[in-house]
Chains A and B, each alone.
Chain A
Amino acid sequence: MPGAGRRAPRGLGLLLAALLALGAGGGAAYYGYNSPFPPPQEIRVPPQGAAGDMFALAFGARRLFADMWFVRLMQYYGTEEFAGDEESEADPGHKHDEHCRHGANFGTGKYPGFLPMARHILEIDPGFVSAGLYGAGSLAFNMGRTAEAEELLAYGLRYSPKEWKYLKVLAAIGYSKAEDPAAVAGQIQPLLKEPDCPVMLKQLAAFLNKKIGNYAAAAVIYADIALTSRDEAYVLNARRELARLARRTVR
């Protein structure tokens, strides 16, 4: 054939070996890997996030985009939970209705996008336990939306079935429905020393301990918050509560 070099030193053997190796790699990957992530049709993208999700998958950066969604969730929810006196905070045993003024900066019916955003974080990264606990805790104990909290935890458990912290919070929600603050505090207690325990759950545990008269335990938790949290609002509140507890002890 004119124009072709007469020598093709290794010919088709190399190409066949390459295809074989490619197939071997594909086979090893096919049989050796099961995706731990939710399938694509489960990902319900909030309107403002479709492009970001595509990047998350395209660059293998699920955790990073889950982090970004978590920051968005916190910004959406705000950090004004403690603008008022702590005594007016949501009580796990208190039933909210449309006239309720407890928790002046939040309440039932506000933050309608909270559950979709919180669930979306777990759809992107099912291993983001802290976000799951934060979302469920906020829904159940701040906003009184226990059904949504349970739905979120159930979704989290589907992809992290051995995650005991979700089970503990589910149990705590159950006790909150039964208006048993001591049991709620007891269920949350084992989570407090875990590195992925959200500070809002610590805050709740401290409040409940204080409510049932367990001031020493409350003080320990507030001290931990003051020492470890980077959220100024929680830290300031913890210090305020520690001062109050100290005054109570003196009396």
Chain B
Amino acid sequence: MTSRAVTFSKVEKTYKRPRLLGAAYHTAVQDLSFDIPAGEITGLLGLNGAGKTTIMKLITGLLFPTAGSLKVFGLPPSGQPAKAKVGFLPELPYFPPQVKPGAALAYYGRLSGLSGKDLSLAVAAALERTGLEPHAHKRVAEFSKGMLQRLGLAQALLHRPDLLVLDEPVSGLDPLAIHDIRKLLAGLNAEGRTIFLSSHSISEVEKLCGRVLIMVRGRLAKTVSRAEWEAAPGGLEAIFVEAVK
């Protein structure tokens, strides 16, 4: 396994929006070059529209770069081998309301190539790991926001990916749920998994991450290590505010 989980090299992504006459172009990220070290938790901070979700979708193969190149564990991100190593939690994941969590996870497990006993074990492990086992009998419609977020995390863990890409994993959660998710992510990282997460919450990123990338209007403004922000007078918040001004 390469020491770099993700490598961006001069990546650009421009969206094309068709109009009545011609098209409108919007460059979401440009000249983006960075690495995500394997086995670490790396955070991604930025204001709305900075390009955070675009980066996440480029890593998971949902978007294709307009220019530059990117690799996930040395592989093209849109290829099946790379996707087998990645678990993705989008912002506000949706599950059919009338199904039970086990059935929902079983479907995604099958899509990840699991079957038979391996699938049952993976579903059970994911439910237990995310604290959803006591709620396994309920339908998704009865889930709270925190439980839905855990279910989203559970589907990302099913196939034991090497890289977890999490888009706003604690968005809208209460403090207790945030604490549980944080503990879970720390545990996953301790097993050697690489975690790449985006968040609006600077304090959460400070607690979890060893490194943070700060995006400003589609460009990588700053890369900050834990040592740097711990040494800085205002902490990560001050560095972030300075970068986005």
- Asked if A6 contacts B64 (CB within 8 A), the reply is yes
Which positions 1-48 of chain A face chain B at CB distance < 8 Å?
2-7, 9
Annotate B59-70 by CB proximity to A: 1 below 8 A, 0 otherwise.
000011111000
> Which residues does chain A contribute within 8 Å of B25, judged by CB atoms?
2-3
- Asked if B23 contacts A3 (CB within 8 A), the reply is yes
Name A residues whose Cβ lies closer than 8 Å to a Cβ of B: 2-7, 9
- Asked if B67 contacts A6 (CB within 8 A), the reply is yes
Chain B residues with a Cβ closer than 8 Å to the other chain, count: 11
Given contacts A2-B14, A3-B23, 15 further A-B contacts (CB under 8 A): A2-B16, A2-B66, A3-B14, A3-B25, A3-B66, A4-B16, A4-B66, A5-B64, A5-B65, A6-B64, A6-B65, A6-B66, A6-B67, A7-B64, A9-B78
A3→B65 CA distance, assembly (Å): 9
> Which residues does chain B contribute within 8 Å of A2, judged by CB atoms?
14, 16, 25, 66
Query: Does chain A have a CB within 8 A of B94?
Result: no
Distance from B63 Cβ to chain A, minimum over Cβ atoms (Å): 7
Distance from B108 Cβ to chain A, minimum over Cβ atoms (Å): 23
In the complex, the chain A residue whose C-beta lies closest to that of B24 is A3
Tell me whether chain A's interface is mostly helix, strand or loop, or mixed: loop
Query: Does chain A have a CB within 8 A of B15?
Result: yes
User: What are 5 A-B contacts defined by CB distance under 8 Å?
Assistant: A3-B14, A3-B16, A3-B23, A4-B16, A7-B64
A7→B76 CA distance, assembly (Å): 11
| Among A3, A5, A6: residue with most chain B CB under 10 A | A3
Annotate B1-41 by CB proximity to A: 1 below 8 A, 0 otherwise.
00000000000001110000001010000000000000000
> Which residues does chain A contribute within 8 Å of B64, judged by CB atoms?
5-7
A106→B179 CA distance, assembly (Å): 92
Distance from B228 Cβ to chain A, minimum over Cβ atoms (Å): 34
A42→B15 CA distance, assembly (Å): 56
Distance from B139 Cβ to chain A, minimum over Cβ atoms (Å): 38
Distance from A6 Cβ to chain B, minimum over Cβ atoms (Å): 6
Known: A2-B25, A2-B66. A7 touches B16 (CB 8 A): no
Distance from B105 Cβ to chain A, minimum over Cβ atoms (Å): 29
> Which residues does chain A contribute within 8 Å of B65, judged by CB atoms?
5-6
> Which residues does chain A contribute within 8 Å of B23, judged by CB atoms?
3
Distance from A2 Cβ to chain B, minimum over Cβ atoms (Å): 5
> Which residues does chain B contribute within 8 Å of A4, judged by CB atoms?
16, 66
> Which residues does chain B contribute within 8 Å of A9, judged by CB atoms?
78
In the complex, the chain B residue whose C-beta lies closest to that of A3 is B16
Distance from B30 Cβ to chain A, minimum over Cβ atoms (Å): 11
> Which residues does chain A contribute within 8 Å of B16, judged by CB atoms?
2-4
Distance from A10 Cβ to chain B, minimum over Cβ atoms (Å): 12
A163→B157 CA distance, assembly (Å): 70
Distance from A48 Cβ to chain B, minimum over Cβ atoms (Å): 45
A179→B63 CA distance, assembly (Å): 87
> Which residues does chain A contribute within 8 Å of B15, judged by CB atoms?
3
> Which residues does chain A contribute within 8 Å of B78, judged by CB atoms?
7, 9
> Which residues does chain B contribute within 8 Å of A6, judged by CB atoms?
64-67
In the complex, the chain B residue whose C-beta lies closest to that of A9 is B78
In the complex, the chain B residue whose C-beta lies closest to that of A7 is B64
Which positions 92-128 of chain B face chain A at CB distance < 8 Å?
none
In the complex, the chain A residue whose C-beta lies closest to that of B18 is A3
Distance from B74 Cβ to chain A, minimum over Cβ atoms (Å): 18
- Asked if A5 contacts B63 (CB within 8 A), the reply is yes
| Nearest 7 interchain pairs by C-beta | A3-B16, A5-B64, A7-B64, A3-B25, A3-B14, A2-B14, A2-B25
Distance from A165 Cβ to chain B, minimum over Cβ atoms (Å): 56
In the complex, the chain A residue whose C-beta lies closest to that of B79 is A9
A2→B66 CA distance, assembly (Å): 7
In the complex, the chain A residue whose C-beta lies closest to that of B17 is A3
A3→B64 CA distance, assembly (Å): 10
Distance from B83 Cβ to chain A, minimum over Cβ atoms (Å): 14
Distance from A85 Cβ to chain B, minimum over Cβ atoms (Å): 69
A237→B171 CA distance, assembly (Å): 83
Distance from A108 Cβ to chain B, minimum over Cβ atoms (Å): 68
> Which residues does chain B contribute within 8 Å of A3, judged by CB atoms?
14-16, 23, 25, 66
> Which residues does chain B contribute within 8 Å of A7, judged by CB atoms?
64, 78
> Which residues does chain A contribute within 8 Å of B66, judged by CB atoms?
2-6
A7→B61 CA distance, assembly (Å): 11
A6→B14 CA distance, assembly (Å): 10
> Which residues does chain A contribute within 8 Å of B67, judged by CB atoms?
6
> Which residues does chain B contribute within 8 Å of A5, judged by CB atoms?
63-66
In the complex, the chain A residue whose C-beta lies closest to that of B76 is A7
